[in-house]
Structure 1
Amino acid sequence: FQFHQLLPEFTALENVMIPAYIAGKKKSEAMQRANELLDFLGLTDRANHKPAELSGGEKQRVAVARALMNEPAVVLADEPSGSLDSKNKAELHQLFFDLRDKFGQTFVIVTHDEELAKLTDRTIHLRDGLVEHDSAADNLTQTELPSQDVAE
């Protein structure tokens, strides 16, 4: 989501529907799901607006809706709030947890934002490509820890 990659000639609704079309879903089914997602994200009144008519936060939420369109089990997000102001950033962070709770999806978020990292269920810190700290290990005894071997 770092860059929204919304297609400028399509409305927010159409941008959200594109993955469903690629998956071969019927237009009515795609539209129903897209409207559900846009409603959940507070964008119902912006559905017929093109990206140039949307704020940065709105574009970000359209991109989130598009990513969720085909109900993936896992959503990968690379610096999802990097281009947002503090208000929209806080709203997006809360949105990830709301989406997790409502749709049961797992979010793998790559971020330098420690505020966001502190909110997550599990945090893995990497340094130079190696695991420096895994918060899941904090709850395990030393004998239960998984191997930290790294394949070269």
Structure 2
Amino acid sequence: MADQRLTVFKRNNAGTLTHRFWDGSAWTNWIDLGTGAISSAPSAVVANGRLVVFARTAHRTLTHKFYDNQAGKWSDWVHLGAGEISSAPSAVFADGRLVVFARTMHGTLTHKFCHNGAAKWSDWVHLSGLKSVQHRQR
């Protein structure tokens, strides 16, 4: 999946994660990625050659799954510890770190990170004094 294919993710009506990708000549049908209700739009990023997708759970915690290129399949959902978030997460990979940002229940910005694909994630690190920006449609 991290093989340069254009991939699109969405939360379906049942609340689970689905995706589709361009196979070189056409878009695939939507493919359900299994159980695990999510309550936000997903955020995907390629980190160290691995496609990683983050979402907020129905319990307002952060979870993620990744595509295992060697096994040729998606991982199970991996929860990233306690701490409620009130927004969809946003992920970025830069300088060897995978970083995911979210808004706390108090409206401040927070993030977690891991280095070079390591399984160990940091605790939530709050960005003091920064209120997150909320998009409003008109």
**TM-score range with shorter-chain normalisation?**
under 0.3
Max radius of gyration: which structure? 1
- Larger relative contact order (C-alpha < 8 A, sep ≥ 6)? 1
Q: TM-score, normalised by structure 1?
A: 0.26
- Bigger share in strand: 2
- Bigger share in helix: 1
